[in-house]
A and B are shown apart, each in its own frame.
Chain A
Amino acid sequence: MSLIAIALRALVAYIVLLALVRASGKRLVSEATGMQFVLAVIVGDLVDDAMLATIPFAQLIVAAGTLTVLQLTIAVVAMLDLRVWRLVEGEPPVVLENGIPRRRAMLRERMNRKEIASALRLAGVSAARWAEIKRARLEQEGILAVVFHDWARPVQRNDAEWVKVRLRPRDR
């Protein structure tokens, strides 16, 4: 098999896939969910076959194109209907509530206490501050989204104004 043929196939595959990735939006590469990861693996395998010509090039275009169109269709439907979104993406489970890990959610996600602690440290929350957490959800991308109790949020400029108003002597 000639090397020029391989190079030409690689070039066209690159252009077609780049166009499809651009059409599918930035989310496909920046925040890959489970389904998008599977899609990337399948397309990667197809590219390998097309590069070595074990499948005709048209098969790569049809397969990659069909998967991209399917992914986009599901994304559009999921955007319009929350039930479809839940079915496809799944509701992010609450793994920590009021500073206490939720065992059932942890079991379902096969996540132990140490992994929660690690994910929270990555989010900048040390174990000493767990009590300040109102709710921590495990998002599709595998990161923990943390919501703090109102009393635990850092002091803002507005708070200083509020204190000033409260401390102002009352009109006589």
Chain B
Amino acid sequence: MKGLMSAVAIVALSLALVGGIVFGLGDDEIFVSPPEVVAEEFVRALALGRVESARAMLARGAEPWMAARQVSASLRSRLGRIDEVEATITERTRDAAVVRVQVDGERRDADFRLSIVRESGAWSVAGATGLREVVNSTRAGR
């Protein structure tokens, strides 16, 4: 019983500590996923058809089309199996970042930019430049 109480106390204490560092000290890349990792995970989720996971990474004001089922399907049909996703930060302020995403696909490569914003301590995808073109070129190419 003592162990049980200790485990609960450890979890509460650890969460309080991490929460204090993120919200109190403004940590934006140690205990939260940094913008480039969020961008990579977002694209991987889309490319693997995990639309719900991609949707969860969208910012509150983001356009919902970015994580739509059709976008995910088009991306998969256009690029094929994803070999590598590489994201690099091109612009960065305290609460916003622009990330260049390069995707090595089985059929072809893609290069676009994602705007990432900080909301409630975590980074989320707010917009995309060039993603629509990648998706539309799929439809035109059929």
Contact = CB atoms under 8 A, between A and B. Distances in A.
Check if A and B associate: yes
Interface of A: 1-2, 5, 8-9, 12, 16, 19-20, 22-25, 52-58, 61-62, 65-66, 68-69, 72-73, 76
Nearest to B8: A69
Contacts of B11: 20, 61-62, 65-66, 68-69
A56 B122 contact: yes
Interface of B: 1, 3-4, 6-8, 10-11, 14-15, 18-19, 29-34, 36-37, 41, 122
13 contacts: A5-B34, A19-B6, A20-B7, A23-B7, A24-B3, A24-B7, A53-B29, A53-B32, A54-B37, A56-B33, A65-B8, A66-B11, A76-B4
Contacts of B19: 58
A9 B4 contact: no
Contacts of B8: 65, 69
B43 to A, nearest CB: 13
Contact of B10 (A8, A19, A55): A19
A19 B37 CA distance: 28
A22 B36 CA distance: 35
Given A1-B36, A56-B31, A58-B31, A65 B14 contact: yes
A89 to B, nearest CB: 18
Nearest to B9: A23
Contacts of A5: 29-30, 34
Which residue of B7, B10, B29, B33 has the most chain A CB atoms within 10 A of its CB atom? B7
A163 B92 CA distance: 90
B7 A65 contact: yes
A23 B10 CA distance: 9
A72 B14 contact: no
Given A19-B10, A56-B122, A1 B34 contact: yes
Given A8-B30, A76-B1, A61 B37 contact: no
Nearest to B123: A56
Contacts of A9: 30-31
Which 8 pairs of residues, A with B, have the shortest CB-CB distance? A65-B11, A23-B6, A57-B31, A23-B7, A19-B10, A72-B4, A61-B14, A53-B33
